[in-house]
Amino acid sequence: MIFPRYLGVSALALAGDSACLALLLGLGMARGAAAALAYLAGVGLHWLLSARFVFASATGAARWRQKALFLGSALAGLGITTALVSMLGAAGVDVAIAKAVAVVGSFAATYILRRSIVFGQPA
């Protein structure tokens, strides 16, 4: 039952990310920078929801380790998101399509990292 909960949490985080992206683009920010900042806002929401509703949370020093590893997985996802949105945008692809492609790549990578490394859940 981990994957359905993770998918729901991811959908909520994506909604926050997408709203932030639309706002930043509306303010005239460059696509890559807007995608990066929006992704980071979504990461914060994702941590709160994942640690509470999806995976077992640790306490004490182990909790700080989880936070650091979660941040590392987020940085991997951020790199994927920023690179794909920027490269596809430079190739003339609409930002919504570029973001959709980035979401798929980032989702797959972060789910694998979070399930196996961050929260150490068996497959």
pLDDT digits (tens, 9 = 90+) for 28-44: 999 889 988 998 899 89
For residue 47, which of 77, 70, 64 has the smallest C-alpha distance?
Answer: 70
Average pLDDT over residues 98-102: 91
Residue 123 has pLDDT above 70, yes or no: no
Average pLDDT over residues 65-73: 92
Instruction: Kindly report the pTM of this predicted structure.
Output: 0.73
- Cα 13 to Cα 16: distance, rounded to the nearest angstrom: 5
User: What's the pLDDT band for 92 if we cut at 50, 70, 90?
Assistant: very high
Residue 1 has pLDDT above 80, yes or no: no
The average confidence (pLDDT) of the chain is 90
Structure tokens at 42: 């979504």
What is the pLDDT at residue 121? Answer: 66
Structure tokens at 52: 């509470």
- Cα 62 to Cα 98: distance, rounded to the nearest angstrom: 36
